[in-house]
């Protein structure tokens, strides 16, 4: 029997590798949803929350993403800032910031909310984490001046810091009784579906920014 030389075996192995290149799977984009009860999913089962439904919607479109639910019911923008470091761990690629609704409901001075959100955005930028800012609108009973000062927080911060903006997190479900729970403030599972459907294009932009940064 003829003896096969070692170099011949090596050459054959190299030819196989060249013919069948190995493609490494792309690491999923890690997104933290930093918010209040609207993110946490107050009154909803775990699989019906905004982060859970958003992750499934992204995967259905072929986008590999992991969405961490960092929502805390009752949290204000200042509360989100206070827990920012441990709510957004190392390895996070992007953050959806959904805060301010409780500030508005409690009539917090818009300047306080603005400073807290600005610091959140600044600290995430320092860490090179992409940001999608989800805005909120003020209730009419708070007055025109309060409404103007509050609602401009989000658009101004987004423009100044070049972060993505979704102007109103509750777009399409606010005041729609069939899409909200009995308290009129928190969405039902069907309401969350509407939120996810409407915000999805902006989240896709967020993921594109992460991938562009990865190169």
What tens digit of pLDDT does each residue of 22-58 get?
A: 334 679 999 999 999 999 999 999 999 999 999 999 9
Just give the CATH number of 31-214.
3.40.50.1110
Q: From first to last of its 215 residues, what are the pLDDT tens digits of the chain?
A: 444 455 554 455 445 444 444 334 679 999 999 999 999 999 999 999 999 999 999 999 999 999 999 999 999 999 999 999 999 999 999 999 999 999 999 999 999 999 999 999 999 999 999 999 999 999 999 999 999 999 999 999 999 999 999 999 999 999 899 999 999 999 999 999 999 999 999 999 999 999 998 87
Which of 93, 88, 92, 97 lies closest to 36 in space, CA to CA?
97
Query: At 117, which helix (H) or strand (E)?
Result: helix 110-126
Phi and psi dihedrals of 78, rounded to 5? -65, -35
Q: How far apart are CA 190 and CA 185, in angstroms?
A: 14
Q: How much is the pTM? A: 0.88
Residues sharing a CB contact under 8 Å with residue 56, sequence separation 6 or more, in sequence order: none
Residues with a catalytic annotation lie at 37, 183, 186
Question: In sequence order, what are the beta bridge partners of 164?
Answer: 132
Mean pLDDT of the chain: 91
Which of 116, 93, 92, 90 lies closest to 103 in space, CA to CA?
116
Which of 72, 71, 74 lies closest to 95 in space, CA to CA?
71
């Amino acid at each position: 029997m003829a003896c096969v030389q070692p170099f011949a075996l090596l050459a054959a192995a190299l030819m196989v590798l060249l013919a069948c290149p190995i493609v490494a799977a792309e690491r999923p984009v890690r997104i933290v949803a930093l918010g209040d009860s609207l993110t946490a999913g107050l009154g909803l089962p775990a699989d019906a929350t905004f982060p859970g439904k958003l992750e499934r919607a992204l995967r259905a479109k072929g986008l590999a993403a992991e969405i961490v639910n960092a929502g805390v019911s009752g949290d204000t923008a200042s509360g989100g800032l206070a827990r920012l470091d441990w709510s957004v761990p190392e390895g996070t690629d992007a953050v959806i910031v959904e805060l301010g609704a409780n500030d508005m409901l409690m009539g917090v001075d818009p300047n306080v909310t603005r400073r807290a959100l600005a610091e959140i955005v600044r600290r995430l930028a320092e860490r090179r984490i992409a940001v999608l800012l989800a805005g909120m609108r003020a209730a009419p009973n708070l007055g025109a001046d309060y409404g103007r000062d509050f609602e401009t927080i989000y658009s101004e911060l987004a423009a100044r810091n070049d972060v993505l903006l979704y102007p109103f997190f509750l777009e399409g479900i606010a005041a729609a009784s069939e899409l909200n729970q009995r308290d009129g403030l928190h969405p039902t599972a069907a309401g969350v579906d509407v939120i996810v459907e409407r915000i999805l294009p902006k989240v896709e932009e967020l993921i594109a920014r992460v991938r562009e940064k990865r190169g």
